Amino acid sequence: MLWVRAPSNLGFTMDELDELGLPVWAAAERNKQPILDELLTLIRPQPGRILEISAATGQHAVHFAPHFPAHNYYVSDCDPTHIKTLAQRLKLARIPNLMGPLYLDTTEQPWPLSDVDVLYNANMTHIAPFEASVGLFQGAQTVLKQGGLLLTYGPFRVDGQHTSESNAQFHASLLARNPAWGVRDLTELTQLALGCGLTLQEKRAMPANNLLVVWRKA
């Protein structure tokens, strides 16, 4: 089952080019450093594997990977256009520990990588059918090492409530575009995670009413 990410009119600007001549999303440029600041407190410096799911333009990956030189940082996506962009970005960036791109649709098993220490996924759960979230946790259960982390970033509801009026409006706009989309509730995701052997460790408030949610494989 190939799910399709949301089009660029959902707040992602694709008509700008970076210094490599590749498309960039303005939101990713704004949030990459705040997210990195949190990742540096969560990811251990020991050698390991990081897998970014739904890496899209690769802006996060090229910003993050140099800060984790002991890790092999793999990028993946299921969209052919994104995979092409990722391949070009990795080739031009020439970051030694940045690997891929891998084709990965969370709803398709098995995944192309195993023995992963950290899974990172930003801005996917709300602009994909819920099956993509189900696949994300099922895949995490399979590929994460014991004690490994799944890190999810984006807007989430908490106990059924939106964290801001802007998120509530965003949720309504998503449903209007596709009834299968929408800002996910952490309560529902927590139950899904528990069924896959992962526990909610913490949620960290981020700029623009987003959260970085930390799940650990028990």
Give the per-residue pLDDT at 8: 37
Give the per-residue pLDDT at 175: 86
Position 113 in a domain: yes
70: burial class by Cβ within 10 Å (0-12, 13-18, 19+)? exposed
Strand order in the sheet with 71-77: 98-103, 71-77, 48-53, 116-122, 144-154, 210-217, 198-206
Number of compact structural domains in the chain: 1
Residue 28 sits in a domain whose CATH number is: 3.40.50.150
Nearest to 99 by CA among 63, 73, 78, 62: 73
Position 1 in a domain: no
Give the per-residue pLDDT at 11: 41
Position 149 in a domain: yes
What is the mean pLDDT of each successive set of 10 residues along the chain, which is 218 residues long?
38 61 90 98 96 96 98 97 96 96 97 98 94 97 98 94 88 91 94 98 96 96
| pTM score over 0.85 | yes
Structural domain boundaries, residue 37: 16-217
